[in-house]
């Protein structure tokens, strides 16, 4: 668990972990310099926890990615499966046991991630689930189930860190975490390249949405969808695609080091080609038209962007 000024919600999350039907062997908690009393609460709680607690506090603020990496490193050699936890959610009592059962049933698994019930800042249900809010498609589910999760994850992340667990072996392959990727994206891709992934449709936790979420999850209302379409059509993409290109080049090197399947490397190469295309479109309209038409004919706008919306954007927006 990583904590930063989580005092309002922290106790509920800690108590839900202590109330698991199958208790963890060990828990690592790293506080990233909280100033709201979270550190004092952690010290008090750890004394009475029904399992071993490795508790550390950073002198300076490391940030989300480095803090999670530090906490994860504390568990290498201590456990077989590492669960990631934010400081503001609530686990259902059977979460740990359910996920451990999945790993024991299939030793080839490197990552398991589950659905979750969404709640607001006061703990009230929002009437939605995590996978529905992420708009997970049947095709994406099929790719994960067939052992080709990387074909889905290279396009977009489907794994929420707070709802996932990794085998310690697969997690070690992900270290050190990349600075260009959020830790859950990086771990998910690593596990997809080096092992198998399983999605559990059963909600195993309450995932809290509030104004101070470090990494927020948008609720896909019609207003949100309309704004997303507007951004896809009107916002400049060169800088965004350049950043994506840099991320993809890094993950390509990482996949090669992991001896990922050949079709995973081909998949990343295709995504790299598309990002490079979008980052370097000609300004002259006719040249841009032919470049976009070639990319659309190759099917890469559908495969790696938002289909016709992205194609329309690239035709109309020159920068």
Ordered domains of the chain (ranges, CATH): 2-208 (3.90.550.10), 222-316 (no CATH)
Q: What's the pLDDT tens digit per position in 55-108?
A: 999 998 999 999 999 999 999 999 999 999 999 999 999 999 999 999 999 999
266, burial (CB in 10 Å: exposed 0-12, middle 13-18, buried 19+): exposed
Average pLDDT over residues 154-180: 97
Please enumerate in sequence order all residues whose Cβ is within 8 A of that of 146, keeping only pairs 6 or more positions apart, or say none.
Answer: none
Residue 132 CA: distances (Å) to CA of 118, 128, 187, 231? 10, 7, 22, 21
Q: Model confidence at 223, in pLDDT bands (50, 70, 90)?
A: low
* pLDDT above 90: residue 269: yes
Q: What's the pLDDT tens digit per position in 21-44?
A: 999 999 999 999 999 999 999 999
pLDDT at 240: 87
Q: What span, in angstroms and rounded, lies between the C-alpha atoms of 286 and 171? A: 48
| H or E stretch at 160 | none
* pLDDT above 60: residue 181: yes
Q: What span, in angstroms and rounded, lies between the C-alpha atoms of 57 and 91? A: 23
Q: What span, in angstroms and rounded, lies between the C-alpha atoms of 18 and 41? A: 15
């Amino acid at each position: 668990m990583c904590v930063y000024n989580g005092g309002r919600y922290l106790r509920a999350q800690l108590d839900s972990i202590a109330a698991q039907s199958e208790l963890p062997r060990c828990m690592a908690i790293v506080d990233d310099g909280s100033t709201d009393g979270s550190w004092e609460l952690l010290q008090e709680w750890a004394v009475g926890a029904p399992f071993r607690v490795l508790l550390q506090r950073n002198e300076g603020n490391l940030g989300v990615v480095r803090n999670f990496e530090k906490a994860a490193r504390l568990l290498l050699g201590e456990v077989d499966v590492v669960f990631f936890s934010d400081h503001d959610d609530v686990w259902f009592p059977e979460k740990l046991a359910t996920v451990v059962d999945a790993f024991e049933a299939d030793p080839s698994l490197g990552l398991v991630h589950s659905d979750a019930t969404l709640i607001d800042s006061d703990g009230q249900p929002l009437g939605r689930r995590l996978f529905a809010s992420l708009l997970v498609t049947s095709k994406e589910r099929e790719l994960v189930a067939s052992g080709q999760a990387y074909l889905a994850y290279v396009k977009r992340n489907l794994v929420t860190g707070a709802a996932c667990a990794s085998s310690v072996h697969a997690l070690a392959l992900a270290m050190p975490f990349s600075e260009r990727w959020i830790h859950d994206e990086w771990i998910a891709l690593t596990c997809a390249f080096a092992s198998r992934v399983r999605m559990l449709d059963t909600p195993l936790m309450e995932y809290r949405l509030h104004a101070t979420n470090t990494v927020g999850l948008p609720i896909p209302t019609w207003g949100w969808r309309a704004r997303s379409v507007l951004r896809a059509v009107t916002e400049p993409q060169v800088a965004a695609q350049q950043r994506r290109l840099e991320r993809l080049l890094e993950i390509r090197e990482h996949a090669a080091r992991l001896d990922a399947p050949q079709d995973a490397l081909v998949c990343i190469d295709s995504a790299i080609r598309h990002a490079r295309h979008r980052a370097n479109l000609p300004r002259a309209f006719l040249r841009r038209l032919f470049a976009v038409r070639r990319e659309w004919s190759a099917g890469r706008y559908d495969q790696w962007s938002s289909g016709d919306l992205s194609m329309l954007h690239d035709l109309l927006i020159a920068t």
